[in-house]
Amino acid sequence: MSTTLDQFKQFTTVVADTGDFESIRAYTPQDATTNPTLIFKAVQHAEYKHLLEKAIADNRSSSLTGPALHRKVIDDLLIAFGREILKIVPGRVSTEVDARLSFDIQATIEKARYLIGLYEKLGTPRERILIKIASTWEGAQAAAVCQKEGINCNLTLLFSLPQAIACAEAGVRLISPFVGRIYDYYKEKSGKDFRGADDPGVQSVERIYAYYKKFGYQTQVMGASFRNTSQILELAGCDLLTIAPELLKELQESNTPVVRKLDPAEAAKSDVLKIHMDEKTFRWLLNEDAMATDKLAEGIRKFAADIVSLEKIVANGFNA
């Protein structure tokens, strides 16, 4: 009998959510995603330190100094990880913009152009790259400009339908609604361990999926941030899911039958109503959703903190 993972791949494109190359090889995903936290964890392991050491060595003669130099090394490191991952996966890799730019439209656009430029200088076509941007209002507007320039974007840290609508109307290639962090929030508030269809993180993705399919948006939905395989199986049929290695392992070692739960034709019959989304509406609806407001802010802070931690590692490397 086919493994649960193999069955699941019949309905949904599987993406590896890791910076660990061996884990990516083990589960043969189509794409892979990274973020500052994953890269920060990876460079602390011996097998990946050479990538950091090379990025530092390549910049020792740079005219840049201080924070500007450290940011340059981190950008080179992100591209190095991305290029190594693309040797393993047949599809795309997501590379994240500095979370500290989440409320700066122009700076986000410039960083996206810069990262794509680094990839292209090294011979990697932009079609294989997704630039990850936080799904703030500013992030969506920056992504709209990037998409028009052929820079495909993955809007991350997404916790609500208003964020998803703003991203779809910006024409982004893909969004990453965070199932597990929504689950975490409601579990902490209620003390309830949600499972299956009762999981509020799962329900959030179902609403977004239905909205997109009903109103014909081309933006893909890629569920992210899972806490258990129950959440994953409940979203069989979603366009893509990005899954951490430990959960991929569970799916690989299981023979649980997979039943498709999300179907575009059925989702298009949803009674969900169209919402006109402008900046005022976005900010109001996000403000009204305490979970989304809290989790978006928390996620940006955490990713920014991991970038700062990476900068400290880089600074120590130059002083070594």
- Which residues have a catalytic role annotated? 132
Token pair for residue 37? 């936290």
Q: How far apart are CA 212 and CA 216, in angstroms?
A: 6
Q: How far apart are CA 83 and CA 99, in angstroms?
A: 21
Q: Measured between alpha carbons, how far is residue 270 from residues 158, 173, 211, 213 in Å?
A: 21, 23, 8, 9
Token pair for residue 144? 């709209």
Token pair for residue 170? 């910006």
Q: Which residues contact 175 (CB under 8 A, 6 or more apart)?
A: 135, 154, 155, 156, 158, 163, 164, 167, 168, 208, 219, 220, 221, 222
What three-state secondary structure class fits 223? strand
* Phi, psi angle pair for 220, to nearest 5°: -85, 150
Please list the residues that pair with 155 across neighbouring strands: 133, 175
For 188, half-sphere exposure in the C-beta direction (CA atoms, 13 angstrom radius) is: 8
E strand or H helix at 141, and its extent?
A: helix 137-148
* Rama region for 51: left / alpha / beta (φ>0; ψ in -120 to 50; rest): alpha
Q: Which residues contact 230 (CB under 8 A, 6 or more apart)?
A: 195, 196, 199
Contact 306, 36 (CB under 8 A): yes
